[in-house]
Structure 1
Amino acid sequence: MLTLHRTNFADEFLTDERCGIVELINTADLPSLSVAQCRVEPGVTTQLHALRSTEEVYVVLQGQGEMSDGATQQFQVCAFDCVHIPADEPQQVTNTGSDDLVFLAICHKRFVPECYVSME
């Protein structure tokens, strides 16, 4: 059976991670996957963190930024770049542009707050 999940962008919420989140799909009925739109304002760096036992792919939709593992790896990202983040890997992104950095965060297994590990 097909299931439609409609998004209301007015439901964006701000996180301690320093970004705005809109959950596109995140339900216990689909435990293997979640998708969220993330928005980072210009000049902001998200909190260094890892997702326990959850891998993630960022798909950049607009803006530009710098991805980092907080130690040795850094690289620039822009629209339509995809970044694979293995489970338990430290990560953060800085918006280096003058417009919002917007990307999809696709998690496998689905994101639950208990998997979030702050590294700051």
Structure 2
Amino acid sequence: MSHKTALKNAPPYITKDGSEIRELLHPALHPVRHQSLAEAVVPPGVATVLHRHLATEEIYHVTSGNGTMTLGAEQFAIEVGDSIVIPPGTPHRVENLGHDSLHILCCCAPAYSHDDTELLE
């Protein structure tokens, strides 16, 4: 198991919420034990499916682009440099309102799992 991942070498896949993900660090692939780190990419004009994770706490950090975050009953603008905490059980989604792809670093603890993703729409 490697202690390093280059973004360019991380193969993309689509999560249950419809976002394209590249796992940068995950217990299934790396010697990290209690969390995962991934980059999500949301194309212009696209929104992820409203969903929640019953066990996982997430932190999003926007590295490129802008959009809108729905977090529970709140909705607010997100842009480069913003960090958002998503408590377990909280419905959430992002929508890309810009002309370029929206890139978000996603830290999950415990590590991301399709089984912990509940679609809400």
- With normalisation by structure 2, the TM-score equals 0.88
Aligned-partner residue type, residue 113 of structure 1: H
The answer to whether the Cα contact below 8 Å between 1:30 and 1:110 also exists between their aligned partners in 2 is no
CA RMSD of aligned residues (A): 1.6
Q: Deviations over 1:46-100 (max 9, x none)?
A: 010001111000000000010003x621000000100000011000000010000
| Residue identity in the other structure for 1:32 | H
Instruction: Tell me if structure 2 keeps the 8 A contact 1:26–1:35.
Output: yes
Give 1:44's match in structure 2, choosing from 43, 46, 50: 46
Worse overlay, 93-102 or 21-30: 21-30
Separation of aligned partners in 1, 2:25 and 2:34: 11
Using a 3 Å threshold, how does the CA distance of structure 1 residues 68 and 103 change in structure 2: closer, same or farther? same
Shift of 1:8: 4.7
What does residue 3 of structure 2 align with?
Answer: 4
- Residue type of the partner of 1:30? V
Give ranges in structure 2 of 5+ residues lacking alignment: none
What does residue 24 of structure 2 align with? Answer: 24
The TM-score with structure 1 as length reference comes to: 0.89
Identity %: 31
List per-residue Cα deviations over 1:1-55 (Å, max 9, x = no partner).
xx62223535112334222100001115533110000000000010100011110
* Contiguous gaps of at least 5 residues in structure 1: none
